[in-house]
Amino acid sequence: MIKIEAPAGGDDTRGWGPPFVGVAGQRESTYFLSANRNKESIALDLKSEPDAVRSPSWLVGPTCW
């Protein structure tokens, strides 16, 4: 699964906590990590024309069903 996140901040659940894990500056909530296990994410601004036009053809490929 590929999850599309906003470029500014991403998923709000990254900051839900405590508890948090990771090194200072890259800490993420354990809730975020458990809810998004085995997911890939990408930051796209779907309100900008370059990302909105490019994203459908770029994301759908031979490995997506």
- Alpha carbon distance 45, 1 (integer Å): 19
Looking at residue 33, its pLDDT comes to: 92
Quick one: CA dihedral 26, 30, 35, 40, positive or negative?
positive
pLDDT at site 24: 86
Q: What six digits make up the tokens of 3?
A: 């999850």
Burial of 29 (0-12, 13-18, 19+ CB in 10 A): buried
Residue pLDDT, tens place only, 16-45: 989 999 888 888 999 999 998 988 888 888
Place of tokens 């590929």: 2
Q: What is the pLDDT of residues 48-60, one digit of tens each?
A: 877 777 666 666 6
Contact status, residue 16 vs residue 32, Cβ threshold 8 Å? yes
